[in-house]
Chain A
Amino acid sequence: MKPKIEVENLNVWYGANHVLKDISMEIPEKRVTAIIGPSGCGKSTFLMTLNRLIDLVNGVCVKGKVLLDGKNIYNPGIDLTELRKKVGMVFQKPNPLPKSIYENIAYGPKIHGVKDRKTLDSIVEKCLRVVGLWDDVKDRLRDSAFELSVGQQQRLCIARALAVKPEVLLMDEPCSALDPTTTRKIEELIQTLKNDYTVVVVTHNMQQANRVSNYTAFLYLGKLIEYGPTQEIFTNPKNKLTKDYINGKFG
């Protein structure tokens, strides 16, 4: 299997706090990779290093390599706009922009140079259809995105991330703010996404990791404890920590 992202000896410090320790792993293309681990172990931090959104944090220090298609994204010459176009992100809390539903989705393509009205219209429709929101909102595309319910907002955010045609989609606990039905829908969505995208999803929910992912990585206190096909991790974990965590002994 061809790796989309290769992480080599990645270390992250927040000030003096060493939160990611020597992480190395390969994330395969067009598969869903789940990141699990107890709260505070560095899952969100890890995701943010993959699109360099971590640059927004003050006083952070990143060492190591992250190769996207073989190119280190921490090279000085890298174009952040290009990088983030390729690596989209969905956050734990839905974070629509203070714009209309339409503008939320059209914003990304516009930044990346799409000007034609018709093209934008079709992108908006396509992305909203993918996340199953089109029928709900097609008559109120001009309304503020904040008028949607939380679950709808989250799906809007996914649609927004898809609108720039990323190659990788990072999702940080995308379902934690949602009810079971919507969670179901998003899980199904993730399943379909893997045909076209490389998906990395952080989750606290073991069943969810089990249901949606092909590979699972277990992080503990900033270290990568175990990483492998989801089936193996859940049925036959090699490390005792992993086993205890999966069986709900801590976390």
Chain B
Amino acid sequence: MRLKCPKFLCFKDKAEIFLFILASISIIILFLIIVFVLNEGVPAFIELGFSNFLFGHRWSPYYGNFGAFPLIYGSILIVLGSLAISVPLGVFTAIFLAEYSPRWLSNMLKPIIELLAAIPSIIYGFFGFVFLAPKIMEFLNVGIGEVALTASIILSIMTVPTIVSISSEVIASVPKEYRKASLALGATKWQTIKSLVLPTAKPGIIASLLLAFGRAVGETVAVLMVCGCVPQIPSPPWNYLEPVHALTAAIALDMGEVSWGSLHYHVLFGLGVILLVITFIVNMIADFFIKKAPRGVQI
């Protein structure tokens, strides 16, 4: 008979004990993050009331108005705008890379597009603030260049690599036999892609959009520098040529100035909680779609 030891805490060797300790430390720290942000953020929800905080229309912390709605709205507005640009751009580029471009071109373009994701957000902020915003002001003839549109454009460049790299991988992993079968029936290349390849790759592409959404909504300094930081709901609400404010930007701007333990302090953590919830939900839905992606595709 084989002795079954309790699986947990049954160490095979010294190395395992050492690794176990380090791994426990890092896992505990990482869970502390959630605990601490919740711990500091929940008082805001309690003190202000859940719906007052979430749906309050005025955000002017120095006068005691802590309505987060303009920030949430601003974040969503900017992010949706950025997706409106990055989704077609990203998916088209992904199709191009996976299906049309010669190998050498893909091999050159892919690392460049990946680099776009690696460029620090402060540099995007710099570029948007010094280059793009004045251009927007000039060409669209608006009073200031730091508006929702500027933020959306910058965010779209920042997040498009996520869409391109995941989508092109998913598209490339659709089995060759499918295509051959369709081409043999006399379909053109584009018909084949449209009616066969894209539907098969759809879950993966959707997952890439969701991950891009998650990345965009958490972006901080670049947004802060180009969105104008005016906590308002534009009129009409879809007016992209007005400045807005964002969840992340509000946290970054105010955090340096609040006193520890004040209501304002807790409110900023409350914004952090909202942000966490949004990213977790988005990531979870993305996971769901990733699991539906064709077999053999790793994201």
Contact = CB atoms under 8 A, between A and B. Distances in A.
The bracket for how many chain B residues form the interface is under 10
Contacts of A62: 2
B3 interface: yes
A157 to B, nearest CB: 26
7 contacts: A62-B2, A63-B1, A63-B2, A74-B1, A74-B2, A76-B2, A76-B3
Interface of A: 62-63, 74, 76
Nearest to A74: B2
Nearest to A64: B1
Interface of B: 1-3
Interface SS of B by simple majority: loop
A104 to B, nearest CB: 24
A166 B60 CA distance: 79
A74 B4 CA distance: 11
Contacts of B3: 76
Which 7 pairs from chain A and chain B are nearest by CB?
A76-B3, A74-B2, A62-B2, A63-B1, A74-B1, A63-B2, A76-B2
Nearest to A61: B2
A46 B115 CA distance: 52
B1 to A, nearest CB: 7
A26 to B, nearest CB: 20
A76 B2 CA distance: 7
Contacts of B1: 63, 74
A192 B2 CA distance: 36
A91 to B, nearest CB: 23
A27 B2 CA distance: 22
B12 to A, nearest CB: 9
A74 B2 CA distance: 6
A232 B56 CA distance: 91
